Amino acid sequence: MPVAPTYPGVYIEEIPSGVRTVAGVATSIAAFVGWAARGDTDRATRVLSWQDFERKFGGLDSRSLLGYAVYHFFNNGGQQAYIVRLAADDAGTAEVTIDGKLRLIARNPGDWSKNYAIATKIRADAADRFRLTVLYVPPATTQEIIVEAFENLSMSAADPRFVVKVLEAESSFIKAELVGSPTTPPADTTTPSPKLAGAVNLDGTVLQPNAAAFETKLEAGGGSGGINLLDRVDLFNLLCIPGENTPAVISSLQKFCLDRRAFLIVDCEQGASFSSLQNGPNSIMTGANAINAAFYFPWVKAPDPLKQNRVEEFPPCGFVAGLYAKTDSSRGVWKAPAGTDASLAGVSGLRTVLTDLENGELNIRAANCLRNFAVYGNVVWGARTLRGNNEVGSEWKYVPVRRLALFIEESLYRGTKWVVFEPNDEPLWAQIRLNVGAFMHDLFRQGALQGTTPREAYFVKCDKETTTQNDINLGIVNIVVGFAPLKPAEFVIIKIQQIAGQIAA
């Protein structure tokens, strides 16, 4: 606000610079959707490590590919993921009532809770206070292992240690309800402690990929559950549905990712072979929305910790998503997540070993191959989107080009919200050019764009040519940003010529 001078002297006035930094968004936050034996089913849960996934979802389960894919993701360089747990529609939630006063209910549905029990004990020096303990009872044993304990609980809603509020805020396993209007704590329980009971047994086999009960939960826009829980997530960049390859479902997921500026990693069928893919991925998968998806072949052989580390086959999406994250952090989103540096960790081999000619036939049809080389081991050897078929001629042929565009779009979407409701005239346009231009120049400086000068690498236009008087009357400001992406050196051609003897003329 201008200074109002009243006395003779010197006045200081600070003038805003107009600089509003556009920050680049994260590029490799993964989302995994699938069946798990335990965990929240009403939200997408953030996990920051494999140990975090084990605590919240129970770790590996031989009935589901989800846990394995998440394990492979973190093992190959992933750092952050959201998990959407799918469960049967009739999945029950176990509970137990203590002394007819306190009902303890499992946090989420599933048969996992049948191995948990509850113990309560009133304090000897305070009859209105009690301790509640959550116990794990391993199957086929009577051993009780303490997993959670809550002290000085009260049955009074006015008390800061009210049992219902404490468990709601602090327990990972149970929540509580009062039965009636009790005023005193439940009586001490005896050993063996009363178990949670009444959960419907969840058979993981009925929710594996390609089962109808599973696929209906992958329908975007069909409700608030299933994959639609990701709508409540602020940002995710990669989507993995381990083992899912039904064309109609993949087509729906592609549209889902396109609308959210995310990228879908598609697994081939477990039994897919070179001959079955000679014509490329299914045509439904390669439609207009396929610019935000990539297809990987074949499945990967890796040790299974649940089977004494015997080698089993797993879908490639978890490994590949981890490599995306690793490449983004070490080289940038503009670097193709493929090549001799894109080696797969924790891998024993590949289901199908391809020759160069076989790889070539699949590559030009938009199937990214995993290869085994004597020196480099098992690596990702393809970087095309599902629109990368040579016959399509798409400008979004390559994975790094498309993902760089998504990174720029999301960053500018978030970084220009301050423009809304500002006076729509040249001072605003100049500020936009300054701030967006600074963001694009930083990408150029990092080597993300083609060209030796900024003029060759990008442009930012926002002026009376892009925003006409009619646009201004409609409340619209148009910002035009162009960039020259780096495209991967997919084919390296070395020309060798024999030097003929030189004859002096």
Helices 317-330 and 66-75, axial angle in degrees (round to 10): 30
Identify the pLDDT of residue 50.
97
Cβ-Cβ contacts under 8 Å for 340 (sequence gap 6 or more)? 373, 375, 376, 379
The answer on pLDDT for 212 being more than 60 is no
Task: State the chain's mean pLDDT as an integer.
Answer: 91
* Strand pairing report for 300-304 and 349-350: antiparallel
> Is 427 a domain residue?
no
Q: What residue numbers bound the domain in which 145 lies?
A: 95-178
> Is 196 a domain residue?
no
> Is 478 a domain residue?
yes
> Is 9 a domain residue?
no
In this structure, are 378 and 260 located in the same domain?
Answer: yes
Report how far residue 211's alpha carbon sits from residue 151's, in angstroms, rounded to the nearest whole number.
45
> Is 183 a domain residue?
no
Report how far residue 475's alpha carbon sits from residue 416's, in angstroms, rounded to the nearest whole number.
15
Q: What's phi and psi for 409, nearest 5 deg?
A: -60, -50
The answer on pLDDT for 198 being more than 70 is no
Q: Where does 25-97 have alpha helices with state H? A: 50-57, 66-75
Report how far residue 27's alpha carbon sits from residue 236's, in angstroms, rounded to the nearest whole number.
8
- Domain CATH number, residue 232: 3.40.50.11780
In one-letter notation, the amino acid at residue 482 is G
192 cis-preceded (ω within 30 degrees of 0): yes
The answer on pLDDT for 189 being more than 60 is yes
Q: What's the average model confidence in pLDDT over 222-251?
A: 90
The answer on pLDDT for 316 being more than 60 is yes
Report how far residue 212's alpha carbon sits from residue 249's, in angstroms, rounded to the nearest whole number.
11
- Domain CATH number, residue 153: 2.60.40
Identify the pLDDT of residue 436.
96
The answer on pLDDT for 404 being more than 70 is yes
> Is 198 a domain residue?
no
* Strand pairing report for 45-47 and 81-86: antiparallel
> Is 20 a domain residue?
no
Report how far residue 352's alpha carbon sits from residue 298's, in angstroms, rounded to the nearest whole number.
6
In this structure, are 257 and 131 located in the same domain?
Answer: no
Final residue belonging to a domain, choices 136, 163, 178: 178
**Higher model confidence: residue 234 or residue 209?**
234
**What is the percent of the chain where pLDDT is above 70?**
94
Q: What's phi and psi for 97, nearest 5 deg?
A: -110, 130
In this structure, are 339 and 449 located in the same domain?
Answer: no
Task: Please state the domain count of the chain.
Answer: 3
Identify the pLDDT of residue 80.
97
In this structure, are 224 and 309 located in the same domain?
Answer: yes
Q: What's the average model confidence in pLDDT over 120-138?
A: 94
- What's the CA angle centered on 119, arms 115 and 123, to 5 degrees? 165
In one-letter notation, the amino acid at residue 8 is P
Identify the pLDDT of residue 314.
97
pLDDT in tens, 215-232: 667 776 656 788 999 999
The pTM assigned to this predicted structure is 0.91
- What's the CA angle centered on 332, arms 328 and 338, to 5 degrees? 65
Q: What's the average model confidence in pLDDT over 86-101?
A: 85
In this structure, are 453 and 498 located in the same domain?
Answer: yes
pLDDT category at 290 given cuts 50, 70, 90 is: very high
Give the Cβ contact number of residue 117 at 10 Å.
22
In this structure, are 81 and 46 located in the same domain?
Answer: yes
* Of residues 265, 242, 378, the one with CA closest to residue 370: 378
Final residue belonging to a domain, choices 376, 400, 424: 400
Identify the pLDDT of residue 114.
84
In this structure, are 106 and 84 located in the same domain?
Answer: no
In this structure, are 133 and 226 located in the same domain?
Answer: no
Q: Where does 40-194 have alpha helices with state H? A: 50-57, 66-75, 163-170
In this structure, are 370 and 228 located in the same domain?
Answer: yes
Identify the pLDDT of residue 210.
40
In one-letter notation, the amino acid at residue 412 is L
In this structure, are 375 and 360 located in the same domain?
Answer: yes
Report how far residue 101's alpha carbon sits from residue 124's, in angstroms, rounded to the nearest whole number.
20
CA 58 vs CA 42, 229, 246, 398, 496: distances in Å: 17, 20, 27, 37, 58
Give the Cβ contact number of residue 190 at 10 Å.
8
In one-letter notation, the amino acid at residue 264 is L
In this structure, are 362 and 482 located in the same domain?
Answer: no
Give bridge partners of residue 294 from the DSSP assignment. Answer: 265
Report how far residue 34's alpha carbon sits from residue 218's, in angstroms, rounded to the nearest whole number.
9
Identify the pLDDT of residue 201.
44
CA 14 vs CA 2, 6, 40, 430: distances in Å: 9, 18, 51, 20
Query: Residue 356: enclosing H or E segment and its boundaries?
Result: helix 356-363
Q: What's phi and psi for 265, nearest 5 deg?
A: -105, 115
pLDDT in tens, 153-169: 999 999 999 999 999 99
pLDDT in tens, 70-86: 999 999 999 999 999 98
CA dihedral 138, 143, 146, 152 (to 10 degrees): 130
Give the Cβ contact number of residue 437 at 10 Å.
17
Report how far residue 237's alpha carbon sits from residue 428's, in angstroms, rounded to the nearest whole number.
31
Report how far residue 298's alpha carbon sits from residue 231's, in angstroms, rounded to the nearest whole number.
31
Structure tokens at 438: 């600074």
Identify the pLDDT of residue 19.
84
The answer on pLDDT for 430 being more than 60 is yes
> Is 422 a domain residue?
no
Identify the pLDDT of residue 209.
46
Q: What's the average model confidence in pLDDT over 202-222?
A: 55
Identify the pLDDT of residue 291.
97
Report how far residue 151's alpha carbon sits from residue 303's, in angstroms, rounded to the nearest whole number.
43
Instruction: Give the position of tokens 């599973």.
Output: 214
- What's the CA angle centered on 344, arms 49 and 64, to 5 degrees? 55
In this structure, are 156 and 62 located in the same domain?
Answer: no
Final residue belonging to a domain, choices 377, 400, 423: 400
Least confident piece of the model among 141-155, 208-222, 295-309, 460-474: 208-222
SS3 (DSSP) at 297:
strand
